[in-house]
Amino acid sequence: GNSVTQMEGPVTLSEEAFLTINCTYTATGYPSLFWYVQYPGEGLQLLLKATKADDKGSNKGFEATYRKETTSFHLEKGSVQVSDSAVYFCALSDPSGYSTLTFGKGTMLLVSP
C-alpha cells in the first residue's frame, strides 16, 4: 500500500537558518505529492504540491522537488522565520479513483528569534 515517511521532530532552528524536512514515499503508479502545514489550533493548509517527476512546488519561500528516482519530496526554505513554527505534513495522492491522501506523521518545526 501507499505510505509516507517523514523525519521525526521537533526540528529546532534559529531565525534565518536553512530548513530541510525529509520526506520519502512508497506508492504504486505516479502519485501527486503535497506538503501541508498546520498552525496551532488550526486545520491543515496546502503549502505546495507537485504532480509529476522533476516538478518543483514552491510557495511562501518553501520549495520541494518531486524526485522519482529517490522517491523523495524534501521540503526546504532558505531562511526561516518565527512565524514558520508549525507542524508540516508530507502527503501523497493516489492517482487512481478520487485521489485519497496518505499523510506522514508530521514534523514539528520550532523557530526561535
C-alpha to C-alpha distance for 85 and 96, rounded to whole angstroms: 34
The C-alpha cell at 11 is: 526540528
Residue 62: name the closest of 36, 41, 92, 43 by CA.
36
C-alpha to C-alpha distance for 48 and 96, rounded to whole angstroms: 21
Give the residue with the Cβ less far from other proteins, 50 or 80.
50
- Shortest spacing between CB 53 and other proteins, in angstroms: 14
- Shortest spacing between CB 13 and other proteins, in angstroms: 20
CB 92 within 8 A of CB 25: yes
Give the residue with the Cβ less far from other proteins, 11 or 44.
44
Give the residue with the Cβ less far from other proteins, 17 or 58.
58
- Shortest spacing between CB 28 and other proteins, in angstroms: 16
Give the residue with the Cβ less far from other proteins, 48 or 80.
48
Q: Which amino acid, residue 13?
A: L
Q: Which residues bind other proteins (CB under 8 A)?
A: 4, 32, 36, 41-46, 49, 51, 89, 91, 93, 97-101, 103-106
The C-alpha cell at 80 is: 526561516
